[in-house]
Structure 1
Amino acid sequence: MKRTFFLVLVVINTAFFSCIPYKDTVYLQNKSQATDSIQKIVEQQKPYRVQINDILNIRIKVTDQDNVQIFNPIGIGNLNASGAERAYFDGFTVDLHGNIRIPELGDMNVLGYTATEIETLITDKLLADQFKETANIFVTVKLTGLRYTTYGEIGSGMQTIYQERVNIFEAIANAGDITDVGNKKDVLIIRQYPEGQKIHHIDLTHVNVMNSPYYYIQPNDMIYVKPLKQKSWGTGTNVLQNIGAVATVLSLITTTILVFQRI
């Protein structure tokens, strides 16, 4: 009787203490007094500055559009390409020196510039070398999608979203969400800077994550989701799964003991 009672206690303790707590699975919990975060978020949205290996989509329009065909090489790289591949062939890649090469205009250094600043650079260059102000030059510069990488307890691989701004939840949803054994409290964002890479930590279970300067991801970010310790234990994610796992183990142990007693 005592042995049975002891085994029941083991099953109950294992079931409750090895499962994943509810608070570790829920996003955006109000763990403290909530404050109006709108102003903080607006202040954090600084324009993105171009980095090495970024691909820019540049389009130039003037009154007589035939005069700028050479600047807009649409689809000449690979006519069968589509999506991100088409962007690679049609776009202008920032080289290791921070330059892009534009037909007729030559190399232009754009490293560390915003899209708006690059538009001004190209417009000024065109007015100085190619056109007059009466040509009504209109230049648009955009990144060819926001590319980032996800790995760990989340859908892994290179991801691309064709938006100018993407927050961390949109990025995660696009990759397929975090698994049940993923650590939402300590998600790592590995970000590129001119001086090198830096690792930033964010807690997705806290509502104040929306105030974080890393709430919106940037091109070339890497998002790593660590596993919870429950994964290494090999237990389930809830009480019923844990009871089943423990019951299976106890059944195996009991069967083994009975077999050896009969030998």
Structure 2
Amino acid sequence: MKKHLLLLLSISFFFSCIPSKDIIYLQGEPIARKEIKRINNIPYKLQVDDILNIDIKSNEESLVSVFKKQSVGATGGGDGYFSGYSIDSYGNIRMPTLGEINVLGYTELEVRKKIENELKKYIKTQEEIFVSVKLSGIKYTIIGEIGSPGPKTIFQNKLSIIDAISNSGDITAVGNRKKVEIIRNSITGTEKFEIDLTKISAFESEVFYIKPNDIINIIPLKQKTWGTGTTGLGALTTIVSLFTLISTTFILARNL
């Protein structure tokens, strides 16, 4: 009885520990530069609730001042929310003088050209007009086995999933790095992807660089479901406690 119990507990010990290969990022041989595929080169198409920062400049500032949104004096990391142009549920932004402009499904470049064409209807001089259109940061939401879950915004033009995870406190010891899920909404519908962050080939994935409004889901390893330790010592402590409980129960049962 004891031999079988010890054998069972030993097997449980080895299967309950999390191997180091499951928690180390980007394992494998480096990928030669010439072999790296060109990924994520498709420009992002704007969606409802995106916020655009639009700047219009000219050598003659008085010509373009009437097309600019007045600053509301907001402070902190949410400046873009107040000074930018939010895309409404109809896919429009509303600009001073120009009025409503539909931008749903357009790229930043296409919106810039669209605004330039609208400006030409009002500005007939040969003054040089400079228009800049950029997303007000990359917003994503991360959930599951992560140090700091919730919505995040990073103020840069391109964001890798490694950056997103690092900015969120890293994946916990019981998070599955081999099967990270990315849920992506687009104008064509919702898509779900998976990426293995323990392999160097993750750099070649079409979702290595995340898109605005992506949802990153870090699912748990089986060890969390089992309730065993994440390290050898933790698993041993759990098994010893279990063995003690079983032995005590067995002894009490025999003495009844």
TM-score (norm 2): 0.90
Equivalent position to 1:26, from 24, 33, 36? 24
Do structure 1's residue 213 and structure 2's residue 206 form an aligned pair?
yes
User: Which sits farther off after the overlay, 164-173 or 33-42?
Assistant: 33-42
Equivalent position to 2:228, from 235, 259, 262? 235
Percent identity reads 41
Mapped partners of 2:110, 2:126: distance in 1: 19
Classify 1:209/1:43 alpha carbon distance in 2 versus 1 (closer, same or farther; 3 Å): closer
Offset at residue 198 of structure 1 (A): 0.7
Mapped partners of 1:259, 1:8: distance in 2: 19
Give the aligned CA root-mean-square deviation in angstroms.
Answer: 2.1
Equivalent position to 2:121, from 121, 128, 131? 128
Classify 1:173/1:224 alpha carbon distance in 2 versus 1 (closer, same or farther; 3 Å): same
Offset at residue 207 of structure 1 (A): 1.1
Offset at residue 97 of structure 1 (A): 2.1
Do structure 1's residue 245 and structure 2's residue 238 form an aligned pair?
yes
- Which residue of structure 2 lines up, in the alignment, with residue 55 of structure 1? 51
Do structure 1's residue 183 and structure 2's residue 181 form an aligned pair?
no
User: Which sits farther off after the overlay, 63-72 or 206-215?
Assistant: 63-72
**Contact 1:186–1:201 (Cα < 8 Å) also in 2:** yes
Corresponding residue pairs, total = 255
Mapped partners of 1:44, 1:117: distance in 2: 18
- Which residue of structure 1 lines up, in the alignment, with residue 129 of structure 2? 137
**Contact 2:46–2:104 (Cα < 8 Å) also in 1:** yes
List runs of 5+ in structure 1 lacking aligned partners.
none
Mapped partners of 1:29, 1:113: distance in 2: 38
Deviations 1:120-146 (A, max 9, x none): 221221122235222x11111111110
User: Which sits farther off after the overlay, 36-45 or 119-128?
Assistant: 36-45
- Which residue of structure 2 lines up, in the alignment, with residue 116 of structure 1? 109
The structure with the largest helix share of the pair is: 1
Mapped partners of 2:5, 2:211: distance in 1: 52
Mapped partners of 1:246, 1:98: distance in 2: 57
TM-score (norm 1): 0.88
Offset at residue 257 of structure 1 (A): 4.2
